Amino acid sequence: MPDEQSTRERTEPGVDPGPEPSPRFWGTHEHSIDPKGRVILPSRFREPFRLGAFVTKLPEGCLGVWTTLEFEKRTAGMLETARRGQAERNVARVWAAGAFDTVPDTQGRLVIPPKLRAFAGLDADVIVNGAINHLEIWSAAKWSDIDAEGSQFLLSGIGALDDIGF
């Protein structure tokens, strides 16, 4: 239960509550790409993307969907990475060239351009996952493999997760 003082400070006129926290995303949702290349965002994910979203390639072969704020953070990171060398500049170029800004329609559907659908192998059944600070869109078959691998790692009891409290 929040203490009365902190609640009052957040709601009192003239008191700056500080920056709005970034939205967080959790869960796995099964959807499909429609014939026009659109995917429905799960209703629980729609509000943060109401005014727009950025869709990008991710190294694992899926697509990332970012709020404007998170995309700006990712862009700043890419600019910093690009200063390290030619290979890093090429990654930043490909990432930026493949980025697509879009606004969900009134039914919560995002258009996914053909090149991004091809990159991620999205053709019918897709998985929309919450990935903490962004969404990921996977082909259902590829997600099945990733999920199995990650689940096996968790079940293995490997100490690599000890430092974050597992």
The domain ranges of the chain are 22-156
Examine the pLDDT at 17 and tell me if it is beyond 60: no
Alpha carbon distance 35, 132 (integer Å): 29
Q: What is the pLDDT of residues 48-76, one digit of tens each?
A: 999 899 999 998 999 999 999 999 999 99
More confident residue, 28 or 156: 28
Question: What is the CATH topology of the domain spanning 22-156?
Answer: Chemotaxis protein chec (3.40.1550)
**C-beta separation of 62 from 130 below 8 A:** no
pLDDT at 155: 78
Q: How does 61-77 read in b/e, with b if 16+ C-beta sit within 10 Å?
A: ebbbbbbeebbeebbee
- Looking only at Cα atoms, what is the longest distance across the chain? 54
**C-beta separation of 98 from 56 below 8 A:** yes
Q: Where residue 26 falls among pLDDT bands split at 50, 70, 90?
A: confident
Q: Which sign does the torsion angle of CA 117, 74, 45, 131 carry?
A: positive
Phi, psi of 110 (to 5 degrees): -105, 135
Q: Which amino acid is at 134?
A: H
Alpha carbon distance 72, 11 (integer Å): 28
**C-beta separation of 155 from 137 below 8 A:** no
pLDDT at 22: 79
pLDDT at 165: 58
Q: What is the pLDDT of residues 102-157, one digit of tens each?
A: 999 999 999 999 999 999 999 999 999 998 899 999 999 999 999 898 888 777 76
More confident residue, 9 or 156: 156
